[in-house]
């Protein structure tokens, strides 16, 4: 295996599956099975999940809601998704811990770095909910921040597209895929991988990002085994 400890970033929208909103139990179960596969290979897995399938702070703000209030609602949405993912992972036979950046002691542990590291060392999947705990920061930023804190080898960004393209492949048939691209080239070409704050933080800490299609069965394991799946962003 190429990596010993990874952080998997999933969007909230990914959990909708074929639905218009909310959580698709079938998609959740598929993701849990994929993660369990790599845990069984001895890889330490942490997960950060978005909340866009339930609520987006930015969308709320654009409709006149207070941005800070909206972002706090979005953080709670990520905790709901974290609980759902925790349940699915445990059904799949994985041991898990949910840690939240905002205190909800009845449903999740507070985020404590040393405790998170200990869970990972014991083979537990650690789900980080509540974003960074601060408004104005996305779950992309939370993913990079947590990955740096737990000393992950790589961030895996699971999307519905199989990598980074010259243009949106769903809109432009002539778009070509990059197998490998540097941080600098992503910025020069104006490609969208993560929001700027998250991307810069990853670059400054020399933390590679792999963008891949999480919805194709077996892809997560293939990435772990070093197969040429998705796009690697590195220095």
pLDDT (tens digit per residue) in 14-60: 999 888 889 999 999 999 999 999 999 999 999 999 999 998 777 77
Looking at residue 20, its pLDDT comes to: 87
Q: What is the pTM of this model?
A: 0.95
Find out if CATH 3.40.50.1000 is the number for domain 5-234: no
Looking at residue 6, its pLDDT comes to: 98
Q: Collapsing DSSP states into helix, strand and coil, what is residue 110? A: strand
- Mean of per-residue pLDDT scores for the chain: 94
Q: Collapsing DSSP states into helix, strand and coil, what is residue 157? A: strand
Residue pointed to by tokens 């218009």: 20
Q: Which helix (H) or strand (E) holds 223?
A: helix 219-224
Yes or no: say if 210 and 157 are a contact pair by the CB < 8 Å rule: yes
Binding site for ATP, residues? 9-12, 52, 56, 159, 165, 168
Domain regions of the chain by residue span = 5-234
Binding site, residues? 9-12, 51-52, 56, 71, 132-139, 159, 165, 168
Weakest mean pLDDT among 53-57, 123-127, 174-178, 189-193:
53-57
Mean pLDDT of 119-136: 97
Whether 61 shows a pLDDT value over 80: the answer reads no
Binding site for UMP, residues? 51, 71, 132-139
> Cβ neighbours of residue 44 under 8 Å, at least 6 residues apart?
4, 5, 6, 120, 121, 123
- As a whole number of angstroms, the distance between CA 113 and CA 74 comes to 23
Looking at residue 63, its pLDDT comes to: 80
């Amino acid at each position: 295996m190429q990596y010993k400890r990874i952080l998997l970033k999933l969007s909230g929208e990914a959990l909708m599956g074929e639905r218009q909103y909310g959580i698709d139990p079938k998609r959740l179960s598929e993701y849990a099975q994929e993660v369990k596969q790599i845990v069984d290979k001895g890889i330490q897995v942490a997960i950060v999940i978005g909340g866009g399938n339930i609520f987006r702070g930015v969308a709320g703000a654009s409709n006149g809601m207070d941005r800070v209030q909206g972002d706090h609602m979005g953080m709670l949405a990520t905790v709901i998704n974290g609980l759902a993912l925790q349940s699915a992972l445990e059904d799949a036979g994985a041991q898990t811990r949910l840690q939240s950046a905002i205190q909800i002691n009845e449903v999740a542990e507070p985020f404590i770095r040393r405790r998170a590291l200990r869970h990972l060392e014991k083979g537990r999947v650690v789900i980080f909910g509540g974003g960074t705990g601060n408004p104005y920061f996305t779950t992309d930023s939370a993913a990079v921040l947590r990955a740096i804190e737990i000393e992950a080898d790589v961030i895996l960004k699971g999307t519905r597209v199989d990598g980074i393209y010259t243009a949106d492949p769903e809109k432009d048939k002539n778009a070509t895929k990059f197998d490998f691209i540097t941080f600098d080239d992503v910025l020069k070409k104006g490609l969208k991988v993560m929001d700027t704050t998250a991307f810069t933080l990853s670059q400054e800490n020399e933390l590679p990002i792999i963008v891949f299609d999480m919805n194709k069965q077996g892809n997560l394991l293939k990435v772990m085994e070093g197969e040429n799946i998705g796009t690697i962003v590195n220095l």
